[in-house]
Amino acid sequence: MIIGTVIVAAMIYSLPFFFAYIQKRKGVVLNDWLLARIPPHDVSAFIFGLIGALGLWILIRAVKDPSIYITYCWTMVFVYIVRFVTLSLVALDPPIGLVPLIDPLSSFFSGNTVITKDLFFSGHTATMVQIYLCLNKRTDKIVALIAAVAVACLLLVQHIHYTVDVLAAPMVVYPCYLLTRYLFFKVERY
């Protein structure tokens, strides 16, 4: 728990420097068929309401079952590593029609700089998928899955991410989750 927490804290500390680097790069604008058909709207409050509520919920569950925290924390470490790599390799400019996300946490970690090029893959979607995977109770998982799908859709409504960013997130998070479960709990879950 302690090692994972320290690593996550170090990664979060490095975010402003990393985001400053990727914001300066020239990227490409993707031709996103789905986004072209969705009129952009500011739904920041809904996005962060759902993320905040589920974040609090998993914290409450983790107090009762520390294995949830260990799984979430170490999955986050692996997801951050993959995200740093993909963001370094895939230079994208923001989608057309992007409505800046009013994110109290991001502004805390990035100064008051608006970050628009942290695109491939969606960190918000990844967070929600991690919460879904780490919760144990069936009803918790159902609520978390609905919230994850809602956040993914809302990110598209606000044109924060391309469709591929949102769809890639679960495909990255799930193997990271499996790796965590294997390394720390010696279980295979498919």
Residue 1: what pLDDT?
A: 87
SS (H, E, C) the chain: CHHHHHHHHHHHHHHHHHHHHHHHCCCECCCCCCHHHCCCCCCHHHHHHHHHHHHHHHHHHHHHCHHHHHHHHHHHHHHHHHHHHHHHHCCECCCCCCCCCCCHHHHHHHCECCCCCCCCCCHHHHHHHHHHHHCCCHHHHHHHHHHHHHHHHHHHHCCCCCHHHHHHHHHHHHHHHHHHHHHHHCCCCC
What pLDDT score does 112 carry? 62
Closest of 188, 184, 186 to residue 74, by C-alpha: 184
What are the structural domain ranges in the chain?
48-108+118-190
pLDDT in tens, 42-61: 999 999 999 999 999 999 99
The CA distance from 52 to 33, in Å, is: 30
Q: What is the pLDDT of residues 150-172, one digit of tens each?
A: 999 999 999 999 999 999 999 99
* pLDDT mean by block of 10 residues, the chain; 190 residues: 92 91 94 97 96 96 95 97 96 95 65 83 97 97 98 98 98 97 75
Alpha-carbon distance of 118 to 112, in angstroms, equals: 15
The pLDDT > 70 percentage for the chain reads 93
Q: How far is CA 86 from CA 30, 75, 168, in A?
A: 16, 16, 11
